[in-house]
């Protein structure tokens, strides 16, 4: 077996300094592109940009104070998350998510999140359980403050803890791939009066079942939460149809 080197990382890098190409391991400040991605994602999820809206690059560059190349890189990232669509000869738009698309997402969520919660109830550590409790409390504060953006972010963090403690990386990967669209739907469903409070109650029930190490109950309440969110999202979708019947119905 090769002997493990005791040299520090700096010593190892210095030893290889004569090489024509060196790996740059310096940690750089947060990039402008990532800041633009985060700002635009927040604007989309909070409803500043609505489904069907066209994103005018000149206006966005002026509003964000960034160059067009930086903006376009950010838009490509958002396109990969499916938060925007780029239409040839028309540019970037906020997609109109049909109810059929939404239903399919909720069907997958109900299956996966029920299973994840059940597995988490068995596997989660006490330290991670405290983190879950902290995110639940953060969601409660956001709900009390009527802070829509904080509600979305803290709910996402709550479920991220459940997913990373479910012991199944495939479940976690699939849910991560849906995250942007889930947050989009979450923002719409929580816009309904009283829905945020009901979401908190359902999240609290999920937390309690996990804390009690009760996988059967965790599975049941997690699935019920998704089913209730689906009902709320349907009501929000129907409300949007009444507001813009011509534009929205064309995508169903």
Distance CA 24, CA 77 (A): 24
Per-residue pLDDT reduced to its tens digit, 126-142? 999 999 999 999 999 99
CA 75 from chain center: how many Å?
17
| pLDDT over 60 (residue 74) | yes
Cα four-point dihedral sign 229, 235, 241, 244: negative
- In a 13 Å sphere around the CA of 82, the CA atoms on its Cβ side amount to 13
Give start-end residues of each CATH 1.10.10.10 domain in the chain: 32-93
pTM for the full predicted model: 0.72
> What does the pLDDT read at residue 246?
45
Lowest-pLDDT range of 19-23, 138-142, 242-246: 19-23
The token pair that represents 234 in the structure block: 């349907």
Query: Which range has the worst mean pLDDT, 37-51, 151-165, 193-207, 214-228?
Result: 37-51
Fold of the 99-249 domain: 1.20.120
Mean pLDDT value across residues 178-190: 84
- Is the pLDDT reported for residue 80 higher than 70? yes
- Look up residue 34 and give its two tokens: 């990532």
- Sign of the alpha-carbon torsion through 228, 229, 233, 234: negative
Q: Which of 167, 160, 158 is nearest to 133 (CA)?
A: 158
Task: Reply yes or no on whether the pLDDT at 21 is more than 60.
Answer: no
Contact predicate 116/162, CB 8 Å: yes
Output the pLDDT for position 109. 95
Q: Residue 66 corresponds to which tokens in the numbers above? A: 């960034």
Tokens of 82: 């499916």
Say what the pLDDT of residue 244 is. Answer: 57
Q: How far apart are CA 141 and CA 184, in angstroms?
A: 21
Q: Which positions ≥6 away from 241 have C-beta within 8 Å?
A: 248, 249
Cα R_g (the chain), whole angstroms: 22
Q: What is the pLDDT of residue 89?
A: 85
DSSP type of residue 244: S
Q: Which of the residue ranges 14-18, 91-95, 134-138, 154-158 has the most confident prediction, judged by mean pLDDT?
A: 134-138
Q: Which two tokens stand for residue 107?
A: 């069907």
Q: What is the pLDDT of residues 187-231, one digit of tens each?
A: 888 888 899 999 999 999 999 999 999 999 999 999 999 999 999
Number of helical (H) and strand (E) elements in the chain, helices listed first: 11, 2
Q: Give the mean model confidence (pLDDT) for residues 8-20.
A: 51
- Chain mean pLDDT for the chain: 84
CATH number 1.10.10.10 is the correct assignment for the domain at 32-93 = yes
Q: What is the pLDDT of residue 10?
A: 56
Query: Distance between CA 90 and CA 22 in Å, rounded?
Result: 43
The segment(s) of the chain belonging to CATH 1.20.120.530 are: 99-249
Residue 28 pLDDT exceeds 80: no
């Amino acid at each position: 077996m090769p002997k493990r080197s005791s040299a520090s990382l700096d010593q190892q890098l210095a030893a290889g300094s004569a090489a024509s190409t060196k790996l740059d391991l310096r940690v750089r400040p947060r990039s402008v592109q990532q800041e633009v991605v985060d700002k635009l994602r927040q604007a989309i999820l909070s409803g500043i940009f609505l489904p069907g809206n066209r994103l005018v690059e000149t206006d966005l560059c002026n509003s964000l104070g960034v160059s067009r190349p930086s903006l376009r890189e950010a838009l490509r990232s958002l396109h990969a998350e499916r938060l925007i669509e780029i239409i040839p000869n028309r540019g970037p738009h906020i997609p109109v998510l049909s109810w059929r698309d939404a239903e399919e997402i909720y069907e997958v969520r109900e299956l996966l999140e029920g299973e994840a919660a059940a597995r988490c109830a068995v596997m989660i550590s006490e330290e991670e359980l405290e983190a879950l409790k902290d995110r639940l409390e953060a969601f409660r504060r956001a709900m009390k403050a009527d802070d829509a953006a904080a509600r979305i972010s803290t709910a996402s963090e709550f479920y991220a803890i459940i997913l990373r403690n479910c012991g199944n990386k495939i479940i976690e990967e699939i849910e991560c791939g849906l995250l942007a669209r889930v947050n989009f739907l979450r923002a719409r469903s929580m816009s309904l009066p009283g829905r945020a409070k009901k979401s908190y109650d359902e999240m609290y029930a999920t937390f309690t079942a996990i804390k009690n190490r009760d996988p059967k109950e965790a599975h049941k309440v997690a699935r019920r939460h998704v089913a209730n969110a689906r009902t709320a999202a349907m009501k929000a979708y129907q409300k949007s149809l009444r507001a813009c019947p011509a534009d929205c119905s064309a995508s169903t």
